[in-house]
Amino acid sequence: MRLAPSSLALLGSISFITTPCLARRKWNDTGRGTIAFEENWGVPEIMGPLAGVSAQLRADILDIHNQRLRRMDENGIDFMILSCATPCIQGISSPSIAASTAKSVNDQLASQISNNTFRFGALAALSMHDPLEAGM
């Protein structure tokens, strides 16, 4: 494949801008290389249906930066990928409510982890009532 000179210039510019940023980004290295995948996280609007959940478990699921980060450090977890606690969007029968709740949950989670992307990533919550819409 051949790239036009303008494309090469653009790639060079992107590389020049991003390389120093990536070089400064440090992995939280505990020496174990541990990633916790698909850890439960939630927001109050989806926690309501979870009857019988203890107050402590509810607080743990809602928290990201306090006890969760402390426990990650205590257990040698370098990085955690968060996802919406079950049943999340799958427990909503109305397609329109599910779609708007998924957007709200995703926006809230993105906001919560945006100040600590060295330690946290996330999986999106999707409303699968309309798979084409979910894929956009």
Per the structure, the count of domains in the chain is: 1
Average pLDDT over residues 5-21: 42
Q: Is 19 a member of any domain?
A: no
- 8 within some domain: no
With respect to residue 5, please indicate whether it lies within any of the assigned structural domains: no
How would residue 22 be classed by pLDDT, with cut points 50, 70 and 90? very low
Q: Quick check: is 37 in a domain? A: yes
Strands 34-41 and 77-84: parallel
Cα–Cα distance measured from residue 64 to residue 42, given in angstroms and rounded to the nearest whole number: 10
- The pLDDT tens digits for 56-67 are 888 888 888 888
Residue 83 lies in a domain: yes
For the chain, report the end-to-end CA distance as a whole number of angstroms. 29
Question: According to the model, what pLDDT value does residue 28 have?
Answer: 67
**Helix, strand, coil share (%) of the chain residues, nearest 5:** 50, 15, 35
Which amino acid would we find at residue 26? K
Rounded to an integer, the average pLDDT of 50-77 is 84
Q: Is residue 34 part of a domain?
A: yes
Percentage of the chain modeled with pLDDT above 70: 76
pLDDT band at 107 (very low <50, low <70, confident <90, very high): very high
Per the domain annotation, does 40 fall within a domain? yes
What range defines the domain where residue 111 resides?
28-134
CA dist 110 and 113 (Å) reads 5
